Structure 1
Amino acid sequence: MKHRCRYAAVNTVGVNHNWRYLIVPNSRFYLLKTAVSGAYNEDTGNKHPGEMKEIERTQVVNMFFKKKEEKKEKKELLYRENVHVNCESDTKENIIRKVGQMLVDSGYVEQPYVDGMVEREKTFSTFMGNGLALPHGIEAVKDQIKSSGIAVMTFRDYVDWDGEEVKVVIGIAGVGEEHMDILSSIAEKMLDDATAEQIRTCDGDTLYQILSGKE
């Protein structure tokens, strides 16, 4: 059946059986409106016997449609409990899984995001220079991010990161453009030699203040 839509202000996102689903702009939970005014036989073009009553429905269908501009849950970017200093050295993968698990435990990401962080390192090192690594998930697991957040580990001794020496590892989960904002903010701090040295060697409370912008 072919239907004539009377709501031009909303965007058509698909046709399913006898209903044409329309997504309402700026809706928080993918509100859909279904509006049908008159049904026509697609083959003959003749009006279907009996006038259909105009129907308008609003549904919450999180599992079906996603909008890039969806607002994610807002949380603090960094919690004090996600700052671990003076840690024992470990393998690169174990460290990534540790910072990733902190992101999971704090509600920033779902578990598959951690695997995506490990996967990224197989093709692209997240070593940034100046003793810093910023592991983050591949594009395929971006939908596993619930809120932007970071988790931090510093080490007594340098960690081998694909042949590079690392003392600061910051796991990152960024929603949309916030990802680049987080990377830029951290990189800017580490470009300053004095600040970078402080980040590598300071206590947990001080590091939290520096990275959370509360110093």
Structure 2
Amino acid sequence: MKQPLGVILAGGQASRMGGGDKALLDLGGRPLLAHAIDRLEPQVAGLALNANGDLARFARFGLPVLPDPMPGHPGPLAGILAGLDWAADQGAETIVTVAVDTPFFPGDLVPQLLLGAETGGHGLALAESEGGLQPTFGLWPVALRDDLRQALAAGTRKLRVWALDHGAARVRFPGPRFDPFFNLNTPEDLARARDLLRG
């Protein structure tokens, strides 16, 4: 299998964080998006960002920016579809997605997802940790994009349900000190992440 492309999901509205742009929140003097790029870029063949609104605000990061292919912020499945359409144009077979608000995700995410998909997942795999299934962290075959487009058009919004219905493998990632998929939903979460970054 070819090395997958990577897609950072940043299409949400950050309502619990008080609105604004989660991707541009400061963590240790750098935006969250920069942390996600640093962790994912070495693991993939190319990288894009799924985001909505004024795309020019991300120009400094030098990534293709992929808006949701349908209106109304239908959730991360729409971001995954945007990534799959982009990957198809690149001739890629798969993408790996990560959430922009999860700055400590594993440095071996992609190879472990690839291994999990090979051992049983029909080419689709989701990360799992002590905190449960982490469906925004997944390996997605480009071949499923038309199926996903139809599901979204029919009203499907639950990412984990759609993925598990398609035979997704579950790949366990242990956290030595804390859940590596700890994500930042509130100002308190951001404060905790700053503490973790300081060690």
TM-score, reference length from structure 2: 0.29
Richer in strand (by share) = 1
Instruction: Give the TM-score of the pair, scaled to structure 1.
Output: 0.27
The structure with the greater share of residues assigned to helix is 2
Q: Which structure has more RCO (C-alpha within 8 Å, separation ≥ 6)?
A: 2
